[in-house]
Structure 1
Amino acid sequence: ASDAGAAATVSFRAGGAWAVLSGGEFEPGVYETDGTVVAESPGLRLHGFQFTPAPPPG
């Protein structure tokens, strides 16, 4: 993000969502998210999202 407050949101149907982040206030890694990532400071990079499978119905 070039500006603080920049955001990315994803809709999903899965067990959980994880954002792959680096830069800004984050060490490079995978962070659990509700589907929205907001840059608190400039320099945050969102490389993508990963999802865990939803539990089986039943």
Structure 2
Amino acid sequence: MARYVSPSLSCIRVETEEMGATALRLLKTTFFDSEKRNHIPRKITIGTSLVLRESSLK
């Protein structure tokens, strides 16, 4: 949507393929791998990048 607004808006691009693959891996571990299953919270970082457009340029 950001590219259809004037001035075009800067945004954050999220690595959606990496996010989906990570989610699937975690689900598979939760349901099918009882040896690796644990209930300890963990922090997972997914790649992002800043897409600069006209709204951020001077």
TM range (shorter): under 0.3
* Bigger helix share: 2
Higher normalized strand content (fraction of residues):
1
- Under a length normalisation based on structure 1, what TM-score does the superposition of the two structures give? 0.27
Q: TM-score, normalised by structure 2?
A: 0.27
